[in-house]
Each structure stands twice: as structure tokens, then as C-alpha cells.
Amino acid sequence: MQITQLNRECLLHLFSFLDKNSRKSLAKTCHKLLEVFQDPLLWSLLNFHSPAELKKDNFLLGPALKYLSICWYSERVKVCNIEDWMKNNFQKDFCNRHENTVSDFLLEVCNRCPNLLSLTLSGCGHVTDDCISLLLKNCPNLRTLKLENCVRITDQTLDAVTLYGGSLQTLHVDFCRNITQTGLERVREKCPWIMLRAERSANMIPDNKPEKKLVFEKASRTLVRL
């Protein structure tokens, strides 16, 4: 028996064991397998290991998507975590190549995947509060939101959780240095049903813009003179 003689249910089951690249390669062999590749039922779960993978045409976004993770653990993540005003030209050039990649992808998710149940982002240093807020609005069934080492995430995201996270059951904001204890307490007060975790977030040193640092230094020098 040839693989194309199997019924659609069996083919979907076989495809489910393949990674995205293998699915795409197999789909190029004939129209029947291409139709299986394009079946939304195949794409309820998507895992990505770098921003570059988001640009590949080897997956399908649609209402069937329930679980999404983008976890980047490369050493290059450290460059994205440097405050923008402290980056040298080489670091800025590196970040410019993919600065909007994850955010643009998440906007597509907002528009095309309203049934999303779980989102995990790790090492996505350029994702902003506005992006997460929009996703919470457009994906009202979201139950799990896990953010790790996402340095641009602030209390604005926590405020969005209290406004739009009615279905949220689990919220992690680990190693997000611009999250504050005040914001966390606000979530605990307004959404007591959410299982909240913030490992090393509120205890880390938040980013301060240069002008704020300058004001602080001037105030410190004044106190020393007094």
C-alpha cells in the first residue's frame, strides 16, 4: 500500500508526528498530501525555537491553533536584553534584523487565531505591552500566559490582564525586570483566581532612562553636599 492510499484521518495522524519542515517537504510530493498539510486540524499546536522560524512558510495559522510557544534560548538573547540606549552600533544592527519579527507574528495570531488557549514566550526581548494587550483582547479564551525574560514587558501588561484576562488561569512573568511588586499585587487583588508566578521579576533592577538616571545622580550629589 502506498501512503496516498491511506484515508485522511490516517494521514493527519502520520503528519502529526512530523516537525514543520518534514511536513512541508512531504506536502510538496503530491496534491493529496498538500491538502493534508493545509488541514487546520493539523495545526492546533505550534512550537518555535527562534524568531527566524517564524518567517518560514512551513506552518498554517488559523482558528484551530490552541497552543503556541516561541522560546529562544540562544546566547544572542542577551543582546536583545540590553537597554536600547546602551547598545553599540553592532548590537543595534543585530536587533534591527528581527526587532519586529515576533510582534508582527503575534499580530497575525491576534487576527487569525481567536481560539488560542495558551501562549508561552521566552527570550522575546522586543515584545511590547501593546502587543500582549491586543492579544488578550482578541483571544478571550486564553487560559495560560507565560512570559520569561521579556524585558519590555511592564506593569501595563499586568493591567491588561486585569481588564481582558477573564479566562486566564495561569500567569507567569519570570525574569521580566520591568515588572513591579505593585503591579503584581494589583493582579492578585483584582484576579485572585489566577495562579500568578513572578520568579526574579519584581526583585530585579528595572530599566531607567538616561534622563531619569541623571536626575537621580543630581539628587544624590545634593544630598551628599548637605
Residue 17's CATH number: 1.20.1280
Give the CATH number for residue 136.
3.80.10.10
- Region 168-182: what's the mean pLDDT? 95
27 and 94 together in one domain: no
My answer on whether 24 and 136 are in the same domain is no
Residues 70 and 181 in one domain: yes
Q: Is residue 28 part of a domain?
A: yes
How many domains does one find in the chain?
A: 2
Per the prediction, the chain carries an average pLDDT of 89
Residues 64, 15 share a domain: no
Residue 222 lies in a domain: no
pLDDT at 210: 65
Whether 217 has a pLDDT exceeding 60, the answer reads: no
pLDDT of residue 223: 42
pLDDT for res 94: 77
Model pTM score: 0.85
The reply to whether 207 falls in a domain is no
What angle (nearest 5°) sits at the alpha carbon of residue 139, between those of residues 129 and 52? Answer: 60
The answer to whether residues 37 and 47 belong to one domain is no
Domain identity same for 75 and 153? yes
pLDDT tens digits along 121-162: 999 999 999 999 999 999 999 999 999 999 999 999 999 999
Residues 71 and 9 reside in one and the same domain: no
Nearest-angstrom CA–CA distance, 107 and 21? 23
CA 86 vs CA 6, 50, 175, 190: distances in Å = 58, 24, 20, 36
> pLDDT grade, residue 226 (50/70/90)?
very low
**Please, which residues have CB within 8 angstroms of residue 219's CB and are 6 or more apart in sequence?**
none
In a domain, 99, yes or no: yes
Note whether residue 224 is domain-resident.
no
Predicted pLDDT of residue 219: 47
In a domain, residue 206? The reply is no
The two beta strands, 67-71 and 45-48, are: parallel
Q: Is residue 202 part of a domain?
A: no
Residues 103, 7 share a domain: no
In the beta sheet, which residues pair with residue 67?
Answer: 45, 118
Tens digits of per-residue pLDDT, 65-95?
Answer: 999 999 998 777 788 777 777 788 877 787 7
Residue 12 has pLDDT above 80, yes or no: yes
Residues 34 and 123 in one domain: no
Q: Note the maximum CA span of the chain.
A: 90
Note whether 176 and 133 are same-domain residues. yes
Give the domain extent around 10: 1-42
Question: Grid coordinates standing for 103?
Answer: 510582534
Q: CA geometry: angle at 51 spanning 180 and 132, to 5°?
A: 35
C-alpha cell at 203: 526583585
- C-alpha cell at position 157: 501588561
For residues 52 and 32, membership in a common domain is answered with no
Find all residues with CB under 8 Å of 45, minimum gap 6, and list them: 65, 66, 67, 68
Q: Is the pLDDT of residue 208 over 80?
A: no
114 or 97, which is more confident: 114
Q: Say what the pLDDT of residue 139 is.
A: 97
Confirm whether 225 is domain-assigned: no
Q: Over 90: is that where the pLDDT of 164 sits?
A: yes
Per-residue pLDDT, averaged over 94-112, amounts to: 91
Is there a single domain that holds both residue 86 and residue 32? no
Alpha helices (runs of H) in the chain, residue ranges in sequence order = 8-15, 20-27, 31-37, 77-81, 89-96, 101-112, 129-138, 155-164, 181-190, 210-225
- pLDDT of 53 > 50? The answer is yes
